[in-house]
Amino acid sequence: MKSVDLQVLDAARRWAAEGRRYALVTVAHTWGSAPRPAGSWLVVRDDGMTVGSVSGGCVEDDIIDRMRESRLGERWPFSLDYGVTQDEAARFGLPCGGALQLVVEPQPDAAQLDELAQSLARGELTLREVDLASGVTALRAAQRGDALGWDGQQLRIIHGPQWRLFIVGAGQISYYLAQIAQALDYDITICEPRNEYGAEWRVPGTKLVSTMPDDAFLAMNADSRCAVVALTHDPKLDDMLLLEALRSPAFYVGAVGSRLNDSKRRERLAQHFDFSAEDLARLHGPIGLPIGSHTPPEIAVAIVAEMTAVRHGAPIALRQALL
């Protein structure tokens, strides 16, 4: 499954190649309880066809009407507000008085969108700037610390490579975990050097590799958009992965096992491989949020829930309150 951003980008490029008129819409800022976060994308075609979303639906309906009636501008990008008043929030289906500010690009630079697609295909983190005052859009390589920003005149959007999930072990938990993670836009790699497990792997859209976990992980060139999960219950395989993953920029590293097994694993890593307490603090184990899960699909849900909390920087206190 492609990420939502890539689906929007693909549609915009395809419509541009077909000579269709279209507009690109980005959520620049939200207030209160808005349905979609800042940075969300929507592309709308002259006949009202859309890909992506910026709300729960009513805002999209209004944008479609504006597009069909040629009320989305001619060329210059501009901002568009929804839900500023309670009446507007009710009219456009924004919950709890939420409001959002959109940036509309009536005629995006097709060549620049092609360039963005190429940089994403190369796995590059890219910053796109839209300046309402000058009407100019620009692309450049994103730097460490760059973030989405909006000051009322200039929109800065970070576009990065797809989030990735590296799983060791092709068992039942992995089967469900891969499918749930795909729905959350992860690109999935399964590492299974054991032929008796790998031969039966059947999850379309995932990549199966049979090399040893440490070699396969290093070949992945992990970055901060990678999650790593060890699910074999075999220390010889899981530990091989953890030796590399805990020293990588991966945002999440977890391993399956009971509390006793997790304690023994941490002892091994500390005593034999010189991992510090800070290194081991990055390891999530026993893996997953404690939601009372027992079956493979329940454990997969718990793992994805924990990955999501870490990915979005949810405080520990908040995560505990959700249990």
The model's pLDDT over 70-119, given as tens digits with 9 standing for 90+, comes to: 998 888 999 998 875 556 555 555 555 568 899 999 989 999 999 999 98
Bigger pLDDT: 96 or 30?
Answer: 30
pLDDT band at 319 (very low <50, low <70, confident <90, very high): very low
pLDDT band at 323 (very low <50, low <70, confident <90, very high): very low
Per-residue pLDDT for 200 more than 90? no
Q: Which of 253, 309, 312 is nearest to 284 (CA)?
A: 253
Same domain membership, residue 192 and residue 87: no
Per-residue pLDDT for 318 more than 50? no
pLDDT band at 322 (very low <50, low <70, confident <90, very high): very low
Q: Which of 159, 180, 206 is the last residue of a domain?
A: 159
Lowest mean pLDDT among 30-34, 132-136, 235-239, 283-287: 30-34
Per-residue pLDDT for 320 more than 80? no
Same domain membership, residue 197 and residue 75: no
Instruction: Tell me the residue range of the domain where 60 lies.
Output: 4-159
pLDDT, averaged across the chain: 88
Same domain membership, residue 25 and residue 134: yes
pLDDT band at 3 (very low <50, low <70, confident <90, very high): low
Tokens 């068992």 belong to residue: 171
Contact of 64 with 43, CB cutoff 8 Å: no
Per-residue pLDDT for 163 more than 60? yes
pLDDT band at 321 (very low <50, low <70, confident <90, very high): very low
Q: What is the mean pLDDT of residues 276-298?
A: 92
Q: What is the pLDDT of residue 162?
A: 77
b/e map of 69-82 (b: 16 or more CB within 10 Å)? Answer: eeebeeeebeebeb
Residue 310, both tokens = 């870490």
Q: What is the pTM of this model?
A: 0.70
The 8 Å CB, 24+ separation contacts for 279-284 are 279/246, 279/247, 280/246, 282/246, 282/253, 283/242, 283/246, 283/253, 283/254, 283/255, 284/252, 284/253, 284/254, 284/255, 284/310
Same domain membership, residue 96 and residue 40: yes
Same domain membership, residue 286 and residue 183: yes
Bigger pLDDT: 65 or 317?
Answer: 65
Each residue's pLDDT tens digit, 34-72: 667 889 999 999 999 999 998 867 789 999 999 999 998
Lowest mean pLDDT among 89-93, 134-138, 215-219, 225-229: 89-93
Q: What is the mean pLDDT of residues 116-132?
A: 89
Same domain membership, residue 16 and residue 135: yes
d(CA 311, CA 37): 15
Same domain membership, residue 134 and residue 180: no
In this structure, the dihedral spanned by the alpha carbons of residues 73, 76, 79 and 80, taken in order and rounded to 10 degrees, is: 0
Q: What is the CATH number of the domain that holds 287?
A: 3.40.50.720
Per-residue pLDDT for 188 more than 60? yes
Same domain membership, residue 279 and residue 226: yes
